[in-house]
Every structure is written in C-alpha cells, then in structure tokens.
Amino acid sequence: MNNKDKNRFFTITDNEGKTIEYEILFTFDSDETKKSYIVFTDNNHDEAGNITTYAATYQKDGERLELNDIKTEKEWTVIENLLSQIADKMEE
C-alpha cells in the first residue's frame, strides 16, 4: 500500500479493545456550521446489502485524527444534502 492509500484509512480501538479499520470516503468543510466532517466506512454491509457508512466531525492534529459526534439536526441535514448531491451526480 502506498502512502496515498494509507491516508485513506484509520483505525479505532473500541471499548472492548477491538481494533477496527475504517476507510475514509470523503471529508468536507461546511461554511454553514463552520466545522469539518468526515464520512467513512468499515466496508461491512447492513441487512439490506448496503455498505454501512458513518459520519463525524473531525480535527486533525498532525498524524492524530480526533472524531466527535454530530450533535445537531442541522449538521445531519448538511451531511444528508451533500450525500444527496453526490448520489444525483453519480446517476448522471
């Protein structure tokens, strides 16, 4: 795996001590909320066969990536609108 590919992945150790690798799908900054967001996946599938995705706010401190929960409906709306725009572009 080259360095560019390594930057697409990160790991988290959960409360049970299990290490989980996630792939970064994309990041973006919102002028509306003044926060940076990350959308990522563990490449597992839900019951409907869709790839499970997650979203969080983030701050990068050198090599360390700090994730925080999305706290408001407004933030979820910003993320959902962006995902909808991406899906529309993919259909074109």
pLDDT digits (tens, 9 = 90+) for 26-74: 999 999 899 999 999 999 999 999 889 999 999 888 778 889 999 999 9
Q: Which three-class secondary structure state does DSSP give residue 30?
A: strand
β partners of residue 41: 23, 53
Question: What is the model's pLDDT at position 4?
Answer: 54
DSSP state of 40: E
Confidence tier at 6 by pLDDT (50, 70, 90): low
Domain ranges of the chain: 3-91
